Structure 1
Amino acid sequence: MFKKKCLIIEDSEIAIVTLSMQLEKLSMYDISVARNYNQAKSCLSNDTYDLIFLDIKLHESSGLDLVSEFPKLPPVIVTSSNVEFAIDTYEINSVMDFIKKPVTEDRLIKAIDKALNRQKTSNSIVENNFVFIKTGRHVMKFDFEKLDYINAYGIYSKIYSDNKSTIVNESIATLEEALPNQIFRRVHKSYIINIKKVTGYDHKNIFINEVVIPIGFSYKKNVSEFIQFI
Structure 2
Amino acid sequence: MIKKKCLIIEDSEIAIVNLNMQLEKLSIFDISVARNYNQARSFLSNDKYDLIFLDIKLHDNSGLDLVNEFPKLPPIIVTSSNVEFAIDTYEINSIVDFIKKPVNEERLIKSIDKALNRHQTSNSMIEKNYAFIKIGRQAMKFDFEDIDFINAFGIYSKIYTENKSTVVNESIATLEEVLPSKIFRRIHKSYIVNVSKVTGYDHKSIFINDVVLPIGFSYKKNINELIQFI
> What is the match of residue 95 of structure 2?
95
1:37-61 deviation digits (Å, cap 9, x = unpaired): 0000000000000000000000000
1:90 and 1:116 map into 2 onto residues whose CA distance is 18
Q: Displacement of 1:116 after TM fit?
A: 1.1
Q: Which has the larger radius of gyration?
A: 1
Q: Displacement of 1:117 after TM fit?
A: 1.4
1:73 and 1:112 map into 2 onto residues whose CA distance is 16
> What is the match of residue 152 of structure 1?
none
Q: Displacement of 1:29 after TM fit?
A: 0.2
> What is the match of residue 59 of structure 1?
59
> What is the match of residue 191 of structure 2?
none
Does residue 39 (structure 1) correspond to residue 31 (structure 2)? The answer is: no
2:22 and 2:66 map into 1 onto residues whose CA distance is 24
1:117-170 deviation digits (Å, cap 9, x = unpaired): 17xxxxxxxxxxxxxxxxxxxxxxxxxxxxxxxxxxxxxxxxxxxxxxxxxxxx
2:55 and 2:110 map into 1 onto residues whose CA distance is 18
Q: Displacement of 1:30 after TM fit?
A: 0.4
Q: Displacement of 1:66 after TM fit?
A: 0.2
> What is the match of residue 14 of structure 2?
14
Measured on the aligned residues, the alpha-carbon RMSD in Å equals: 0.7
> What is the match of residue 112 of structure 1?
112
Q: Runs of 5+ in structure 1 lacking a partner?
A: 119-230
1:116 and 1:5 map into 2 onto residues whose CA distance is 12
> What is the match of residue 150 of structure 1?
none
Amino acid at match of 2:101: K
**Percent identity (aligned):** 86
1:5 and 1:88 map into 2 onto residues whose CA distance is 26
1:49-103 deviation digits (Å, cap 9, x = unpaired): 0000000000000000000000000000000000000000000000000000000
Q: Runs of 5+ in structure 2 lacking a partner?
A: 119-230
> What is the match of residue 164 of structure 1?
none
> What is the match of residue 186 of structure 1?
none
Counting matched residue pairs gives 118
> What is the match of residue 224 of structure 1?
none
1:163-199 deviation digits (Å, cap 9, x = unpaired): xxxxxxxxxxxxxxxxxxxxxxxxxxxxxxxxxxxxx
Helix, strand or coil for the counterpart of 2:77? strand
Amino acid at match of 1:21: M
> What is the match of residue 71 of structure 2?
71
> What is the match of residue 50 of structure 2?
50
Helix, strand or coil for the counterpart of 2:99? strand
> What is the match of residue 2 of structure 1?
2
Helix, strand or coil for the counterpart of 1:6? strand
> What is the match of residue 171 of structure 1?
none
Helix, strand or coil for the counterpart of 2:64? helix
> What is the match of residue 168 of structure 1?
none
Amino acid at match of 2:63: G
> What is the match of residue 172 of structure 1?
none
